[in-house]
Structure 1
Amino acid sequence: MKNFLKFLFFAAVVAGVVYVLKQVFAPANGGSAATSGVLPSQPVKSLDDAPLGGKISEELLKILVCPEDKGPLELVDDGKFLLNPRNGYKYPIRNGIPVMLIEEGKKYRDPNFAPKAA
């Protein structure tokens, strides 16, 4: 009988903890997880659809380098691209976020690019 009472007490404690956790993590408006802010209410758009440009901090510009040759970059086209003057790769800036993928740099490379003489 003593073991049975211990089991009941343990089960009651577990049930109480589960109840409290459900109350704490339940959506405030009684909606589903999709409307509670856990999941986006609309499909996430690709970064390719985001507009070019945006504000980038000076500190970030100082530390960004080209992923291809690890050299410094220049801000060009009214802050829409970061240019590697050594290979002509132009990395787009979308909503203030530099897209530092080599494929993106190649995609926007200037076809008339000529490397600067050393």
Structure 2
Amino acid sequence: MDEKISKVDPKLLELLTCPLTNGTLTYDRERNELVSDRAKLAYPIRDGIPIMLVSEARKLDE
């Protein structure tokens, strides 16, 4: 596991939604991402800050 992975405030995670679908997100601790199953995108978390830009999201494989 990467040493640079930071924890994200759980209260912040409860408030965030997918900017594309406005749907719920799940936290993938292993990859340090917020996942939108509906949009099939994973938003990265860098230095403890969720990057909620569709252009920065990783497309999920089918």
Task: Say which structure, 1 or 2, has more relative contact order (CA 8 Å, 6+ apart).
Answer: 2
TM-score higher than 0.5: yes
1:109 corresponding residue in structure 2: 59
| Paired residues, number | 60
2:23 corresponding residue in structure 1: 71
Q: For the structure 1 residues 92 and 69, does the alpha-carbon distance in structure 2 shift closer, same or farther, using more than 3 Å as the test?
A: same
Q: For the structure 1 residues 69 and 52, does the alpha-carbon distance in structure 2 shift closer, same or farther, using more than 3 Å as the test?
A: farther
What's the % identity of the aligned pairs?
33
Partner-residue secondary structure (3-state), 2:59: coil
Please identify which structure carries the higher helix content.
1
Q: Is the 8 A contact 1:76 1:82 kept in 2?
A: yes
Q: Mind listing any 5+ residue stretches in structure 2 that lack a counterpart? A: none
Give CA deviations for 1:83-103 in whole Å, capped at 9, x if unaligned: 001121100000100000011
Q: Which of 32, 45, 49 is equivalent to 1:80? A: 32
Give structure 1 regions of 4+ aligned residues with deviation exceeding 3 angstroms: none
Q: Mind listing any 5+ residue stretches in structure 1 that lack a counterpart? A: 1-50, 114-118
RMSD over aligned Cα atoms: 1.9
Greater gyration radius: 1
Alpha-carbon separation, structure 2, partners of 1:52 and 1:82:
17
1:18 corresponding residue in structure 2: none
Structure 1 residue 61 displacement after superposition: 0.6
| TM-score where L is the length of structure 2 | 0.83
